[in-house]
Amino acid sequence: AGAAGRALAGTDRALVTLSELDLQAAVEGTVMGSYVFTAYRSEKGDAPVAKVDFASPADGTAREHKATLKAATSIAEAVLTARDLINTPPNDLYPASFADRAKKLAEDNGLEFEVLDEKALKRKGFGGILGVGGGSSRQPRLVRIGYKPAKAAKKVALVGKGITFDSGGISLKPAANMDHMTSDMSGAAGVLAAVVLAAKLKYPLEVVAHIPLAENLPSGTSYRPGDVLTMYGGKTVEVLNTDAEGRLVLVDAMVRAAEENPDYLIETSTLTGAQVVALGNRTAGVMGSDDFRDRVAAIMQATGENGWAMPLPEELRADLDSRLADLANVTGHRWGGMLAAGIFLREFVADGLDWVHIDIAGPSFNTGAPWGYTGKGGTGVPVRTIAAVLADIAANG
């Protein structure tokens, strides 16, 4: 369906007849496959297919099909919302402008919205977000956006990494492919789209997204290797590498999210290049509480977004010991880098809280040719996984 949707570019109308086809898969694939991002092109080329009709058999299931059509369309549109954010270049998408877009989505969908600017972040002690964002003239933000229905069976916190551009800071990245770091806010885009989707589909859950936003740039005000940061909640971290910045902004948001006593915490981020080394560009690494990790990994595979459960080996924890602070932000070696990042995050998870970390460094951004329903650029992974996990929690607790 995704390949067909892409091939229909320039077409006014198409008809899909359903017999053995899965309606939800066909709708999601068609919408995602036909997506193009042309906001910055002077010549737009062929427009996506304008309208697609789905004809179902006259078997008395029209009402069920309509409900599926509505849900599938909403889920696919949420993926496109995330893709639009990811594909917007960093000169236009930076912490304040991302927060503005989040506010507009919140207002349009009747969601709670709060944003902390750099002054509020300093007053409240968000040392990780402030440290990472201090090198840019475009100061950091922390966005909270929430959906709270009248009756909520469970409460789910979402946290997504929002580094709107990552140069690596003082620990500067190589120039080759640094432009791909416009996608370093894919986790933030995903959780923003997911909380809006939760409201549209009226999940019987309270869903709150906490989105730390910063731009990691080198300057005279940048944080340095050797600095010690005091994170939100009081733990201290010695910075050994300023390019391991995502975990620093995430834990500030994770500790803040836990203060609201959620039943589950789902965090997603383009966290480590080690994820790509271990699992490639299309398979996310899933870490966290054992049972919840396995549940999310299975759901991620079922959605087609592909995730693989990964361990958090206890022997790696000692490699994060710091000579100065409570812990360091990286180990002194390159082995198990994705797992060490997960262990770092675990240090800031509240006791007894079911949590999962989804590393989407590779799957969030397609630098190659289009395939299936995935075009070039932002993919929107893991929006459909989060949607399916929320539906599973709503159904099963």
Say if CB 214 and CB 95 are below 8 A apart: yes
Question: Using CA atoms, how far apart are residues 119 and 154, in angstroms rounded to an integer?
Answer: 33
Angle at 230 between CA 227 and CA 233, to 5 degrees: 160
pTM above 0.85, yes or no: yes
Residue 85 maps to a domain: no
Residues 52 and 96 in one domain: no
SS3 content of the chain, % helix, strand, coil (to 5): 40, 20, 40
What's 279's domain CATH number? 3.40.630.10
Residue 351 maps to a domain: yes
Catalytic residue among 247, 256, 295, 384: 247
- Domain termination site, one of 44, 71, 98: 71
Residue 60: the pLDDT is 66
Q: What digits encode the pLDDT tens for the residues 341-390?
A: 999 999 999 999 999 999 999 999 999 999 999 999 999 999 999 999 99
Give the dihedral sign, CA 230/231/235/236: negative
Residues 63 and 187 in one domain: no
Residue 19: the pLDDT is 72
Q: What digits encode the pLDDT tens for the residues 177-210?
A: 999 999 999 999 999 999 999 999 999 999 999 9
The residue segments making up the domain with residue 9 are 2-71
Residue 55: the pLDDT is 85
Residues 364 and 220 in one domain: yes
Catalytic residue among 173, 200, 235, 317: 173
247 catalytic residue (yes or no):
yes
Rg of the Cα atoms in the chain: 21
Residues 171 and 112 in one domain: yes
Say if CB 57 and CB 24 are below 8 A apart: no
Residues 28 and 139 in one domain: no
- Counted domains in the chain: 2
User: What is the DSSP-derived secondary structure letter of residue 314?
Assistant: G
Question: Using CA atoms, how far apart are residues 256 and 232, in angstroms rounded to an integer?
Answer: 7
Residue 81 maps to a domain: no
Residue 78 maps to a domain: no
The pair of structure tokens assigned to 111 is 């969601």
Instruction: List helix spans (H) across the chain.
Output: 2-7, 23-33, 62-87, 95-108, 118-124, 127-133, 186-200, 246-258, 273-279, 290-303, 337-346, 383-396
384 catalytic residue (yes or no):
no
Low-confidence ranges of the chain (pLDDT < 70): 60
What's 21's domain CATH number? 3.40.220.10
Beta-carbon contacts of residue 151 (< 8 Å; ≥ 6 apart): 204
